[in-house]
Structures are given as structure tokens and as C-alpha cells.
Amino acid sequence: MQLYRLKYKRPEIFKQIHYALHLPQYLSYLITNQAYSDITSIGCHTGLWNFPQDNYHEWVFREGITEKLAPLYSSADVVDARAFWKDFKVGIGLHDSSAALIPYLACFSEPFVLISTGTWCITLNPFNKHPLTEDELKQDCLCYMSYRGEPVKASRLFAGNEHEIETKRLAQYFNKPNDFYKTVEYDEKIITAFTRTNPAAPEIKFAERNLNDYKNYETAYHRLMLDIMWQQLASTKLVLQDENVNRIFVDGGFSKNPIYMHLLAEAFPDMEVYAASVAQATAVGAALAIHKHWNSKPLPGDIIDLKFYAKPTIV
């Protein structure tokens, strides 16, 4: 989109551009002095790639944007470089979310979805091969691209941002530290009380709720997490469809939140739900993509640390 803008708003700059690189490929270029485009960066919600046709969109050719894009190069291959009187094999760089998915693809062959949590909660399903529909696009679904060049259907939820805003509101109202939520343990009785009085998904978000309705921080925080989980359930279901997926992995901030994890296990009772942790997942994924070029040893079996969450038993 920046290239499109420059073409019409700053044509003098557009004419001077030889290649426009995504950040990972620019970093690789600084080391190798070779410019390439990577399919995971091109295919990560840029609007450049036509997934069904496996090529750039027609508008990219029509507007002359392809002339400003470096040649595509395999994400699993390396280029030779020399620096400090030594020879190096250098990858061309990958999009961060696509790289973070690689450890899971390397370790698990059975279908799964990964919920990557942070400011955004992104549900990634690398086993959903159905093209995006107009309705899915309207509900904030998108496609990433795996390092193997395969589409990864995803849905997004701004839940981490909502959590940050609302926990600050809770802290101020109940006179607690901003990170007090980290001390709150999962209480099944509180959740049961909420779901029995209102078993259907709430029609309002937590931001619209009156905090006077809650006797303490713990109760209000459970309400917040339940409201977020209703949204998470709907968001994740968008990319599940009828695929044979029986595992959900959660990484990032919410994977360390026992209330989120217990509620997720209850929301998907027919699936195995795991909190997953991969140290430096993006860097590890990028290294795994080019593993055969720099490491003769087999992949270690302990890349991913898993914690299973069973569906709560209500007595």
C-alpha cells in the first residue's frame, strides 16, 4: 500500500525505487547485499498475493508494483555471504507470525490450530484449505502464508488490547495494582454462577458493564475473561469449519493465564487444549526453516513445552 501511495502521491520517489523490501528481507540484504522477496512476507495480509492463482494479484501487475518487488526466493533456502573474512549461509528472513508457526508444523503432523496471543489473539489454522469468503473477511479473517508456500487461514481478535484496558479499569475501581489479575486463581464456582444466570453469549462487552455489580475484583475479573472467551470462541470457530482438528495450542500472554486456559478448555470440550511455550519462537522457527543448511543434527524433541488443560467437571 505504501508503494501504491508513493506512485500517486510522490511519483518522483516512486521512480527512484529499485526494490522495496519487507523488514526481514532488508535485514538479510544488509548482510548478503542480495535483494529477495519472501513468500511469507508477501503473503501476510498485504493484499499483494492471489492465493487461488498462486501469484501476485492482477492489480499489482497493472499498477507496476511488481517491478519494485525483488525476485521471490525460497524461505527454506540460503544465500552465501562473506563478512569478517568468514563465509556464512544466510536465510532471507521470514514474517514473524509465519516463523513462529514453524516449530509447531515441525513437531506435529496431526491437524491443529494455534492461538497466538498478545495484543491480538490470532487463531492460525494451517490445515484449512478453503479460500477466504467475503463474509469471513468482514469478520476480520485473513490468510497468512507458510514458509512452504501454503495458505494459513487466520482470524483476529483484539482481546489482548481489551484485557489491558479493562484490567486497568478494574485496578482503579477496586484500588489494586495494574497487574493484580496475575494473582487471581480460576474459580469454577464464579464461572458456573455466571453461566447459569446467562448461558448464552453476552450481547455487550465488558467495557459496557457496571463495576458496581461485582462484589470484588476477583468476580469482576472472571466476568471479563468470560466475556473475552465468548468472543474467542466465535473468532476461533471461523477458521475451524469442518476440518478434522482435535488440538488447540495457545502461546503468548494468555497461555500463562489459567482462567483463559480453563475457559478455553470448557469452550472446546471435544478438543485437547494446551498452553504452549516455545522460547524465542520466531527466531527458532526461522532457524528451523533453513535447518538442513546449517545443522546436521536431528531436531530436538523438547522445542515446545506443553501443559494440558482438561475440560472442567461441574458437580
- Asked if 75 and 98 sit in the same domain, the reply is no
Do 195 and 105 fall into the same domain? yes
Strand spans (E) along 158-294: 247-252, 272-277
The domain boundary residue, chosen from 37, 62, 82? 82
The per-residue pLDDT for range 41-60, each reduced to its tens digit, is: 998 878 899 888 889 999 99
Both 214 and 72 in one domain: the answer is no
- Do residues 108 and 243 both lie within one domain? yes
Whether the per-residue pLDDT at 253 is higher than 60: the answer is: yes
Q: Is residue 117 within 8 Å of 253, Cβ to Cβ?
A: yes
**CA distances from residue 72 to 25, 34, 95, 149, 264 in whole angstroms, order as listed:** 11, 12, 14, 11, 39
Q: What pLDDT band is residue 310 in, cutting at 50, 70 and 90?
A: confident
Angle subtended at Cα 276 by Cα 40 and Cα 170, rounded to the nearest 5 degrees: 100
Residue with cell 497461555: 255
Residues 211 and 100 in one domain: yes
- Claim to verify: residue 110 and residue 227 sit in the same structural domain: yes
Q: Which of 285, 258, 262 is nearest to 273 (CA)?
A: 262
32 in any annotated domain: yes
Residues 55 and 196 in one domain: no
Distance (Å, whole) CA 46 – CA 259: 34
pTM of the model: 0.85
Residue-wise pLDDT tens digits, 113-169: 999 998 999 999 999 888 888 899 899 898 888 888 888 999 999 999 999 999 999
Residue 51 counted as domain residue: yes
Residue 296 predicted with pLDDT over 60: yes
Q: How confident is the model at residue 314 (pLDDT cuts 50, 70, 90)?
A: low
pLDDT at 251 over 70: yes
Range of the domain at 35: 2-82
**High-pLDDT (> 70) share of the chain, %:** 97
| pLDDT, position 140 | 87
**Taking residues 284-311, what's their average pLDDT?**
90
Does residue 222 surpass a pLDDT of 60? yes
Helices and strands in the chain: count of H runs, count of E runs = 13, 13
Instruction: Indicate whether 69 pLDDT > 60.
Output: yes
Q: What is the mean pLDDT of residues 263-288?
A: 92
Lowest mean per-residue pLDDT among 8-12, 35-39, 105-109, 178-182: 105-109
Q: Is residue 88 part of a domain?
A: no
Q: Is residue 87 part of a domain?
A: no
Looking at residue 51, the DSSP 8-state letter turns out to be: T
Predicted confidence at residue 312, as pLDDT, reads: 67
Q: How many domains does the chain have?
A: 2
What mean pLDDT is predicted for residues 218-236? Answer: 96
Identify the residue with better confidence: 131 or 61.
61
| Domain end (from 36, 62, 82) | 82
Which of the 8 DSSP states describes residue 118?
Answer: S
CB atoms closer than 10 angstroms to residue 281: 24
User: Do 102 and 29 fall into the same domain?
Assistant: no
- d(Cα 45, Cα 4) in Å, to the nearest integer? 15
H/E/C letters for each residue in 171-211? HHHHCCCCCHHHHCCCCHHHHHHHHHHCCCCCCCCHHHCCH
Question: Residue 281 — pLDDT band, cuts 50, 70, 90?
Answer: confident
Q: Which of 82, 117, 148 is the last residue of a domain?
A: 82
Same domain, residue pair 99 and 138:
yes
pLDDT of residue 200: 66
**pLDDT for residue 46:** 84
- The pLDDT score that the predictor gives to residue 131 is 82
Domain match, 66 and 197 both: no
Q: Are residues 153 and 189 in the same domain?
A: yes
The SS3 call for residue 310 is coil
**What average pLDDT score do residues 236-253 get?**
88
Rounded distance between C-alpha atoms, residue 307 and residue 95, angstroms: 27
**pLDDT recorded at residue 201:** 66
- Within-domain flag for 89: no
> CA torsion sign, 208 to 213 to 214 to 219?
negative
Evaluate whether residue 137 is within a structural domain: yes
Q: pLDDT tens digits, residue range 174-215? A: 999 999 999 999 999 999 999 887 766 667 889 999 999 999
Same domain assignment for residues 77 and 151: no
CA distance 123 to 306: 18
Query: What's the CATH number where 110 sits?
Result: 3.30.420.40
**For range 59-82, the mean pLDDT:** 93
